[in-house]
Amino acid sequence: MPAPYNRPMPDSNAWLFGPQVALHRARQSLGSAEHDQILQTLDVSQPSGQRILTLRDQVFSGQKINTSENRAVGHWALRLVVAGRHAGVSTEGLAQHFAPDQEDLLPRFSAQDQRVAAFVEDLRSGKVRSAKGLGYTTIVHLGIGGSDLGPHLLIDALAGNRQNHPIQAKFLSNLDYHAVQHCLAELDPNTTLVAMVSKSFTTQETLHNSQHLYQWMKDAGIANPLEQFVAITNRTDLALRWGITEDQTFWFDQSIGGRYSLWGPVSLTARAVLGNAVVDEVLAGGLEMDQHFLNTPLLKNLPAVLAATDFYNLRHRKIPTLMVSAYDSRLSLLVPYLKQLWMESLGKHTDQQGRPIQGPACPILWGDIGTNAQHAFFQLLHQGGQGVAVDLIGTVHPEHDAVESHQALLANLIAQAQALSLGYESSDPNKSCWGGHPVHLFMLDRLNARSLGAFLCMWEHRVICLAALTGVNPFDQWGVELGKAIAGSAIAAMREDSTKHLTPNGQPIAHQIDAVSQSIIDWIKQR
């Protein structure tokens, strides 16, 4: 039976990238010839290789490469500040300034980092107290997208036994009030701190939910609930106008995109739960990956090789999706985090100059935790006939002593990598499996703060490299902005005479609701 694309054959060669991550070409290519074809993209004598080097250098030199918003990209600079208070962290080979508008912003980044760290220490020790003089036991983290997924992932992956942490966290992102009710059901407003995280401080979901928490505290007899709010934002002026005090307002720069922001003040909640030292280790791991990315030739450069493979699978093998499955339950939020990083960055149809690109800029990323995924959708991978690229992730050393359980988990990981790659042919067609899926197998020595930081940073650089190959801007998200604009008009129409949103001849105003949306709103109102 014809496979959906070529079946890779085993190859004993493997490359090791850094101390903890391994990429095996055995599951990705039809031997050395095809592997060389994939890596030809990274030849620095070719335009594709030069595009990666150029974009990489532009990012780390503070150039305004986010052209549609006329902004530089500064998330990498957030990682530099950890070297100032973490012994043994090297920044050798990395830029020591970030000055997109002539002013070096690193001192401001460092000052905010120190403010956040000091606040967290006071919070964990009980020095920072609630309006009624009680120590805080819980933080409700209000944010959505990049203001939520990064710190939430860090806590889920690194918290271990949560009973050992002085502060617990609840994450509230959804606009649905059912989520608010569920979040607050067992909390004490007198020992709850609210962290509002919004770059613009205009995010609809965050502002709506903050009003609910304000009223919840007010109903509990707290005279000024805003004493129990902190703000993490680029628009500190709006936070102050909203009523949050200056000493509980933390700034980050407009060059920090939400999906790249976990390295800075946005992770205040993660620091409160895990401790400053743990999150500093995350940043240190990111710095190590920065050094690898900047100082390693492209042919041995992990993010670059991965992106070259992604590009080959997408454009040459015509594989439209990338399935990611981590065989470590602590990484249950990895796929949601990567989905945003990947598809909000690369979900574009034009290049930096506004010209249509030739084909999609990235595969659709999806997946779930292993082994759960095996009993959900792996059946389609094995026998469905669709082309799917696969990333599988495991850890060599677990943080428990159940050796046989972990051996069984890793056995399933290894088995799936083989089955998805090689398949199985039977005389009974109903039992035959296609195989032929290109597979990356990543093995972390341990899932700890430093390895997680390196791994997440590697994905950021993988995005940058794939953006360079396809020509898109991975730092804006105008599709997201369109939905927000229409939602604002729909809210107004739900609450008032919607004819105000039509032109005199009855046509919808640009970015406003159309006739179909209006009819749905009218129907809802009638009911």
Q: Do 51 and 469 touch, CB atoms closer than 8 A?
A: yes
Please list, residue by residue across 9-22, b when 16 or more beta carbons sit within 10 angstroms of its beta carbon and e when fewer do. Answer: eebeeeeebbebbb
Per the structure block, which two tokens stand in for 444?
């972390």
Dihedral sign for Cα atoms in the order 46, 60, 277, 138: negative
- Count Cβ atoms within 10 A of the Cβ of residue 206 and give its class: 0-12 exposed, 13-18 middle, 19 or more buried: buried
**DSSP-assigned letters across all residues of 408-452:** HHHHHHHHHHHHHHH-B--SSGGG-B-----EEEEEEEE-SHHHH
Rounded to a whole number of angstroms, the distance between the first and last alpha carbons of the chain is 55
Q: Could you tell me which residues come within 8 angstroms of residue 261 by beta carbon, excluding any fewer than 6 positions away?
A: 75, 78, 146, 147, 150, 199, 252
Count Cβ atoms below 10 Å from residue 450 Cβ, excluding itself: 20
Length of the chain: 527
- Considering only CA atoms, which of 183, 155, 156, 157 is closest in space to residue 170? 183
28: Cβ contacts below 8 Å, ≥ 6 apart: 8, 35, 38, 309, 438, 439, 440
Note every long-range contact of 246-251, with CB atoms under 8 Å and residues 24 or more positions apart, other chains counting: 248/119, 250/112, 250/115, 250/116, 250/119, 251/108, 251/112
For residue 152, which of 111, 189, 183 has the smallest C-alpha distance?
183
Structure tokens at 208: 């709506």
| Strand partners of residue 232 | 197, 250
Cα gap 293→506, rounded to integer Å: 55
Answer whether 322's CB lies under 8 Å from 364's CB: yes
Q: What are phi and psi of 102, to 5 degrees?
A: 75, -30
Which residues does the annotation mark as catalytic?
344, 375, 484
State CA 317 to chain mean position distance. 26
DSSP output for 254-308: TTS-GGG-TTTGGGHHHHHHH-HHHHHHHHHHHHHHHHHHHHS-GGG-HHHHHHH
Q: What are phi and psi of 372, to 5 degrees?
A: -55, -40
